[in-house]
Amino acid sequence: MDMENYTSNKKYDSTAAFYIQPGFVEGVIAEELAFNSIETAFENIFKNNKEFCVVSWNQIPFKLSYKEDIPFLIPSITKTLDLLFNSDEKNWSTHFYSKNCDFTWSFSIIDDAIFVVGDFIKISGNHQKAINSLSNFRMDINTFLKEWKLLIEQILSAFEQSEHQLTNSNDQKLIDILFDINAFIPSRALRYQYDKR
Amino acid sequence: MDLTKERDNLNSILSNLDERLEGFKDLLIDSVSFEIDFSIESIKYVELLLKHLQVKAKNDIELKKDAALYIGQTIKLNFNGEWDIYDDEGTEFHLQPYVKFLDVNHNNFFPFLSINKYFENPEIGFFLKTLGEKKKLIDISIQLGHPKINSIPAKEFAAVKDVFLELFHPNEERLFLFWNHIPIQFQYHNLIQNFDEILAMNWLLQKENQGKTKATLTNDVLTIELHLFWENDDLKIESYFNAIDEKHQTYTDALSENSIINFSKQSFLNEWNTLLKQILTAFDAANVTIVDGTERRKMELLNQVEQAINGYGKLYIK
């Protein structure tokens, strides 16, 4: 871990380091179906989605498909953000795996900043080598959390609109945790707060 | 049939492949004295068999399926591939079983389509040749951002590109050009740098049946020089990606892996037209007036080009 980089007083441009731009979610139909897992439920919910969620990492973007990636990443996203709110952990790693993605992000918290180191094995576009060459960034924790808020809102809103049920109580609990996380994050990234920019 | 059902079908067939190929195995032994072993060499014997049985095989759907499965599985095993169902509604390959490769130097292999193609010119070595020489299935698409348009009082501008600075906030959603799935981001605010090039490229492409042109696009980390050559709907693009700073060199290296591509001219125009339409809509909403005569001509051109292309990108059509 490049601690010299992390602990410098340099002011970082947050969107240059990391941002998430969710895609447009196509209309979700209320189907009231029961699913055993969060992954299969969201594969169904996002089945008509065409736009991608784009994550930009040190100005190198990669895309996540709503059909093939996001449903499988929701448990890892929830776990990571939950640790930020409900744990005294200062260092942890999360593995993200889906059809087009295989990567591990290691997190460290120092004061109000979060330090993230990515180890990318596979991303859509196969440009993981490029991202691995700029594998780390630091950000203010609140700014980091705000980047996730619109995507979380999309996930929760789509789930509610679908009126699906999760028969697996552990997966239902993940949704409940995601609702809590969303409530804790005070606002979206600045570019989605049109009155404050 | 949807993608999930097609994938389930394929997986079900592959899980019983040995059993399914029993008859095919016997036919190979009887006809060309070869026992299947899933080696590269064995593909030659399948080609011999199909050539030998040409008319019968061409009309025997089950035999063609078995041969396609065998060749696909052999190629998968020998070239580190993976079976899947192709998912791209904008192409003829949509919902076709295919073998994709971790090694990007190999083209996707569509065994069921290739079998039919084989009968047009049944030469030994056809399938491996197809694997190496088929045009790469490069994906190019544009995903728009959803920027909020600044409300500006109806205003006169000298140049079209000046409007972008007023109309779009710098901290706004980006638009992405997906270059074989690698996103290249552009800020709407910074379209001031690229608008003239994009308009000129699209104007010439849609206007001429045959020609060549060059366009240079830039963002914060790279420049792209596109050299376009086209005849009717066949478009060849030679592209040069240059990193603005050294730390993004690996990013431009990744993009450069697909620097020469062949694409449908109309599909390429449709992708850009989605952006042209969005710009026109934003300018209309802001009631923009361009006062300079030459610059006003650009606005007219923008309208003409958008209407002439008359199609939109694959992310935005049903």
Structural domain includes residue A134: yes
Structural domain includes residue A196: no
pLDDT digits (tens, 9 = 90+) for B38-67: 888 888 888 888 888 776 767 788 888 999
Q: What are A54's two structure tokens?
A: 């784009």
The mean pLDDT value of chain B amounts to 88
Amino acid at B181: H
Token pair 């952006």 is found at B275
Structural domain includes residue A157: yes
pTM passes above 0.95: no
Residues A187, A143: contact at Cβ < 8 Å? Answer: no
Q: What are A8's two structure tokens?
A: 């410098």
Domain count, chain A: 1
> Hey, what long-range contacts does B277-281 have (CB within 8 A, 24 or more apart)?
B277/B306, B277/B312, B278/B144, B279/B191, B279/B195, B280/B306
For chain B, list the domains and their CATH numbers.
3-133 (1.20.120.1090), 140-316 (no CATH)
Structural domain includes residue A55: yes
Domain interval for residue A82:
3-8+15-191
Provide the shortest C-alpha distance from residue A197 to chain B (in Å).
8
Q: Is the ipTM of this complex over 0.85?
A: yes
pLDDT digits (tens, 9 = 90+) for B58-115: 778 888 899 999 999 988 887 778 899 998 877 778 889 999 876 555 678 899 988 8
Nearest C-alpha in A relative to B143: A51
Nearest C-alpha in A relative to B149: A194
- The minimal CB distance from B171 to the residues A23, A52, A191 is found for A191
Q: Order across the sheet with A60-65: list the strands.
A: A18-21, A52-57, A60-65
Structural domain includes residue A64: yes
Residues B13, B111: contact at Cβ < 8 Å? Answer: no
Structural domain includes residue A159: yes
Candidates B5, B80, B172, B251: best to mutate against A (most CBs of A within 10 A) is B251
**Least confident window among A12-26, A146-160, B277-291:** A12-26
Alpha-carbon distance values, B69 to A119, B64, B98, B128 (Å): 36, 8, 10, 15
pLDDT digits (tens, 9 = 90+) for B201-249: 999 999 999 999 999 999 999 999 999 999 999 899 999 999 999 999 9
Q: Among residues B271, B243, B272, which one has the least CA distance to residue B255? A: B243
Q: Give dist(CA B107, CA B100) in Å, integer.
A: 7
Structural domain includes residue A51: yes
pLDDT digits (tens, 9 = 90+) for B136-188: 557 899 999 999 888 777 678 888 888 898 888 888 999 999 999 999 999 99
